[in-house]
Amino acid sequence: MPLRPDDPTRIGHYRLTARLGSGGMGVVYLGVAWDGSPVAVKVLRPELAGDQEFRRRFGREVASLVRVKGAYTVRVIEADSQSSTPFVVTEYAQGPSLSEHIDKYGSVEPDMLHALATGLAEALTVIHAAGIMHRDLKPSNIILTDVGPKVIDFGIARRQDTTGMTKTGMVVGSMGFMAPEQISGRPGPAADIFAWGVTVAYAAAGRSPFGAGNAHSILYRIMYGDADIAAVPDSLRPLVESALAKDPQSRPTAPQLLDRLTSAARRPERIADAPTQVISSQAPAAPAPDAPGNKKVPIGHRIATMAASAIVAIRRRRPGRRAAGPPGPKG
């Protein structure tokens, strides 16, 4: 989206060129660094910059982002929570969001779904290891880049040992992706695991496992109903089912999710000596745009690369370094 007349054209050392999105706390811009590389610049809304509660929350966001360093999360380049216009600069994750892909193609193919689920489990492992929660994992906050999925928007992340993050009675999260305890206002890291399960089920079917309708109906089904996970492949269904347990203590942790996913990926029948070629060859070529049935076409080269990168990176990771990942691309 182009800049609006009242948008800044420069923040710190960065020239702003377009709007990427906006939320309750601020506006995210596409920026250009001094070396010409693209970056994402999140700026606190001017009307909130003078509000000490929001400024403290923004400061916590910055601190959270600095602690999160992984292959499948955006990295912080620079941040300033004390200036008159607080901002944070992260790498720009280029690619469609998972929600955009689902809108266009309908769902994610099973082999690509396994790689996506693994990348997201790796991201949550790194996030939770840093002592924070994401609290808003959903398809629109997952960017499908050439090097794998990137989890973005830690605008409502918080430390696991803090309370009073929001005003009393305020529910933080997105409709359809909140865990039962998040709806009740008492979320912990397990709420992110629930969101992982919803996201994987959503990607498999192209629709929410808790259905559509008004907010009351969706929240009721999350609290008391059963999720529809019939579209989830057999290899992932037990994990998704456990992630969607109503009781947060019954859900696996992020490292447990990652262990089970990577154990499955290491089986000989899934991974050969050349995993990149195996995974890539499992992505069929996309039919011509006018061909019937192209609603279900896989993402193609980008997601084939994503799947291969996810599996290769995991296979090459040294024992004991599961939560660490290669640095993200510059810029």
Each as own residue / partner, the long-range contacts of residues 271-278 (CB below 8 Å, 24 or more positions apart, any chain) are 271/311, 271/315, 275/308, 275/311, 275/312, 275/315, 276/308, 276/312
Pairing state of beta strands 87-91 and 76-80?
A: antiparallel
**What is the rounded CA–CA span in Å between residue 27 and residue 320?**
38
Active-site annotation holder among 7, 35, 103, 136? 136
> Catalytic annotation on 228?
no
Could you give the residue numbers annotated as active site? Answer: 136
